[in-house]
Structure 1
Amino acid sequence: MTDDAQDPSKPARAWVFGDDIDTDQIIPSRFIVSSEAGELAEHTFEDLRPAFSREVQPGAFVVGGENFGSGSSREQAPLSLVGAGVAGVVAESFARIFFRNAINLGLPVLISPEAGRIRDGDDIHMELATGTIVNHTRDEEYEAESLPEFLQSIVEQGGLKPYTRAKLQG
């Protein structure tokens, strides 16, 4: 699992974005010369929301609308979120490749048609096993599609590489 400050079951601030947030908005293509999560994190949402990389705290959540992570299939977009300490991403829907890249990197993602009820700055947390998002600010719960058990295992291990390594050693 991720470090305790990035535990999706712990409440933290939601950073809310809209529909059709593409990978170039998450990490502008001019910064993908690196594949280091920490370096990428310095430029996460730089053109869309310049204060994000300075103000985001480990454990925060990103909330999107429809089609979050569309565009290029590059894994630097979810990797920049991992580097920024994001504990998870909730969206109404995801671009398929972004969704899988996030899982492969150990970044929890939940699909929730109720994601639009979350407001910027709300304190939320995710319960991956049940597919529940709890909004502590509004005292509400939202349903999401729970991740299949094997995808939960990949996330809990910190991504596909650590998961595979553990399987091969076990």
Structure 2
Amino acid sequence: MTTSQYLLNLGLLGYVLYSNLGTRTLTRLRVILPLGVVAIAAAVFLRDVPTLGNDVRLEVVGAVVGAALGVAAGLLMRVRHVGGRTVTVAGASYAALWVVVIGGRMLFAYGADHWFSRDIALFSRAHLITGADAWTAAFVLMALAMVVTRVLVTAARALGAPARAVPVLS
């Protein structure tokens, strides 16, 4: 992983936490913007997805794990209607999930370059994974699937969230 990729991951983490922690009004932009970013990231990072050997299986596993993590993130965010607007509330558990996932992805990348590159090469050879590009595609698909699924879960919950009356303080 290059320095710019580490910075990109840290920037993504910062953006996710900044834009979602606390109580936030759910707007169209908060739904559309992450989906637009995912579309751009897919176009940039998934140009040549390896498909030989078991690469596709690895990439599908990455996408499925990402979708599961996205469901978890979506469920860790409360959604409700208050005073005619839809709000989301995300706290420490939501932040912890994102820190663990993005930090874990960065740690794996660092370890793959410095600590256990030989073990990954042996695992890849034994399981017919063609190399680093397949691993990269799997992790990118995991990240993208997590974001898309989190947005979809949040949007679905917003559509089904019961309206609550706001008490009037005199």
Q: Which TM-score applies when normalising by structure 2?
A: 0.26
Higher helix share: 2
Q: If you compute each CA radius of gyration, which structure gives the higher value, 1 or 2?
A: 2
Structure number with the bigger relative contact order (C-alpha 8 A, sep ≥ 6) is: 2
Higher strand share: 1
Q: Which TM-score applies when normalising by structure 1?
A: 0.26
